[in-house]
């Protein structure tokens, strides 16, 4: 019953003491002290990019990471020693770029279960797992239908699964530096693929279906075991870059460039020209005078020699990344002039610094570096 006031009115009960609200518990981060301190210093609900310092992680991604960085879009854990991603990865719904290069991923459980059903399967656009230990393309990756860029270079891949065709949005695929022996025809069913890197593998042939990649702009196949190319590859009309160096089809072509030994007449003529032996038209038959006038200078600036009929054919194919797009042919006076230490190609601005290293691998000191475009 309310108490009466002096004027006969009833007094309203006064407000009671306010109840103290307990603060929500702060999410804990399960990580080693050094890493926890680093993440704590960077903690921000608005942070969109996180690059972890190279260190040895004792386990997967720290639990609680998604609560500390709920807006995270780019995560770089390269070189941290990760052996598994962990389920924390599934709790990053905004993540569109994941870089996990040079780790120890590849064993059972490297990727969390349910990856294909998580929000990440729709948000992730760029995934780089190069420099790990995968012996096969994880099936879970083939469920990331939003991927535009996938890098698995420098792993232990033995092949490419036919289900790669499920990644319809893929524009960039890097599988260089593995042990792949064949290209499945299903790879041609990637309508958006623009850049395909399959260099430094053990690929022996190219399926003609690859010509169906109408969006393809760059195809890197150097340092494989290719002995021929399918005629259909000419249908890749939008292709800007094609690299084939270091394949048997190129090396064999170069080795077939034969050198015919000079005749006695040519040897004599070279001696006259290189030693500047004086003569007059009355000293020699007219045919020999005419022959001596046909001497061609060796294009090697360090040589100074000449040739008449017998020479070494040196052919350089420069790929579309270079200055030229046409085969260049030089006629040299001797095989030595095509060696990496004396060749005129060293002074060409279109020749890369790595040319001399590749040239040393082909016999007979002929032209060895070939980029076929």
Asked whether the beta carbons of 83 and 107 are under 8 A apart, the reply is yes
Q: Locate tokens 């603060």: which residue?
A: 23
How many C-beta atoms surround the C-beta of residue 79 within 10 A? 17
Report how many helices (DSSP H) and strands (DSSP E) the chain contains, helices first.
7, 13
Please give the pLDDT value at position 59. 73
The pLDDT tens digits of the residues spanning 334-362 come to: 877 765 433 333 333 333 333 333 333 33
Least confident of 44-53, 164-173, 212-221: 44-53
Q: With 70 as the cut, is the pLDDT of residue 26 above it?
A: no
Rounded to whole angstroms, the Cα distance separating 101 from 82 reads: 10
The pLDDT tens digits of the residues spanning 318-336 come to: 444 444 344 556 778 887 7
The pLDDT tens digits of the residues spanning 66-107 come to: 888 888 999 999 999 999 999 999 999 899 999 999 999 999
Asked whether the beta carbons of 167 and 142 are under 8 A apart, the reply is yes
Asked whether the beta carbons of 243 and 363 are under 8 A apart, the reply is no
How many C-beta atoms surround the C-beta of residue 337 within 10 A? 23
Q: How confident is the model at residue 196 (pLDDT cuts 50, 70, 90)?
A: very high
The DSSP-derived string for 45-87 is TT--EEEPPS---SSSSPBTHHHH-TT--EEE-TTS--S---G
Q: How confident is the model at residue 7 (pLDDT cuts 50, 70, 90)?
A: very low
The residue that leads in pLDDT, 24 or 350, is 24
Which helix (H) or strand (E) covers residue 315, if one does?
Answer: strand 312-316
Q: With 80 as the cut, is the pLDDT of residue 44 above it?
A: no
Rounded to whole angstroms, the Cα distance separating 73 from 124 reads: 9
Q: Locate tokens 């007979």: which residue?
A: 364
Least confident of 6-10, 231-235, 262-266: 6-10
Largest CA-CA distance found in the chain, in angstroms, rounded:
152
Beta partners for 74? 49, 97
Compute CA distances 339 → 67, 297, 332, 336, 366, whole Å. Answer: 62, 17, 11, 5, 7
Cβ burial of 33 (10 Å; 0-12, 13-18, 19+) is exposed
Rounded to whole angstroms, the Cα distance separating 97 from 89 reads: 12
The pLDDT tens digits of the residues spanning 197-253 come to: 999 999 999 999 999 999 999 999 999 999 888 888 878 888 888 888 888 887 666
Please give the pLDDT value at position 46. 73
- The 3-class secondary structure across 142-172, one letter per residue, is HHCCCCCEEECCCCCCCCCCHHHHHCCCCCE
Rounded to whole angstroms, the Cα distance separating 13 from 27 reads: 41
Q: With 70 as the cut, is the pLDDT of residue 300 above it?
A: yes
CA angle 76, 89, 54 (to 5 degrees): 30
Mean pLDDT of all residues belonging to the chain: 78
The DSSP-derived string for 77-133 is -TTS--S---GGGGG-TT--EEE--SS---STTSS-TTGGGSTHHHH--EEE--SS-
Mean pLDDT in residue range 293-298:
88
Rounded to whole angstroms, the Cα distance separating 171 from 99 reads: 17
Mean pLDDT in residue range 295-316:
80
Q: With 70 as the cut, is the pLDDT of residue 191 above it?
A: yes
């Amino acid at each position: 019953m309310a108490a009466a006031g002096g004027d006969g009115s009833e007094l309203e009960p006064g407000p009671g003491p306010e109840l103290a609200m307990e603060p929500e518990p702060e999410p804990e981060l399960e990580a080693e002290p050094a890493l926890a301190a680093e993440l704590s210093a960077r903690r921000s609900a608005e942070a969109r990019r996180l690059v972890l310092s190279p260190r040895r992680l004792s386990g997967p991604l720290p639990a609680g990471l998604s609560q500390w960085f709920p807006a995270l879009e780019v995560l770089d854990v390269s070189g941290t020693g990760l052996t598994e991603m962990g389920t924390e990865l599934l709790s990053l719904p905004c993540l569109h770029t994941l870089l996990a290069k040079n780790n120890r991923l590849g064993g059972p459980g490297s990727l969390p279960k349910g990856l294909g059903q998580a929000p990440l399967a729709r948000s992730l656009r760029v995934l780089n797992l190069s420099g790990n230990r995968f012996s096969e393309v994880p099936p879970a990756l083939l469920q990331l239908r939003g991927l535009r860029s996938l890098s698995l270079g420098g792993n232990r891949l033995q092949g490419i699964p036919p289900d790669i065709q499920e990644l319809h949005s893929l524009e960039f695929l890097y599988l260089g530096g593995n042990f792949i022996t064949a290209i499945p025809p299903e790879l041609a069913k990637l309508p958006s693929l623009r850049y395909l890197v399959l260099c430094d593998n053990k690929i022996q042939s190219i399926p003609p279906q690859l010509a169906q990649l109408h969006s393809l702009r760059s195809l890197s196949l150097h340092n494989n075991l290719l002995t021929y190319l399918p005629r259909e590859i000419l249908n890749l009309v939008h292709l800007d870059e094609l690299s084939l160096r270091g394949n048997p089809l190129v090396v064999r072509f170069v080795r077939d460039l034969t050198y015919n030994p000079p005749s006695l007449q040519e040897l004599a003529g070279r001696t006259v020209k290189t030693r500047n032996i004086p003569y007059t038209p009355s000293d020699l038959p007219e045919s020999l005078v005419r022959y001596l006038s046909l001497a061609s200078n060796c294009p090697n600036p360090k040589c100074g020699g000449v040739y008449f009929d017998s020479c070494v054919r040196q052919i350089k194919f420069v790929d579309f990344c270079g200055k030229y797009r046409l085969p260049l042919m030089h006629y040299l006076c001797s095989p030595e002039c095509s060696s990496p230490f004396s060749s005129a190609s060293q002074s060409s601005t279109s020749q890369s610094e790595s040319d001399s290293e590749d040239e040393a691998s082909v016999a007979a000191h002929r032209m060895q570096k070939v980029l076929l475009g």
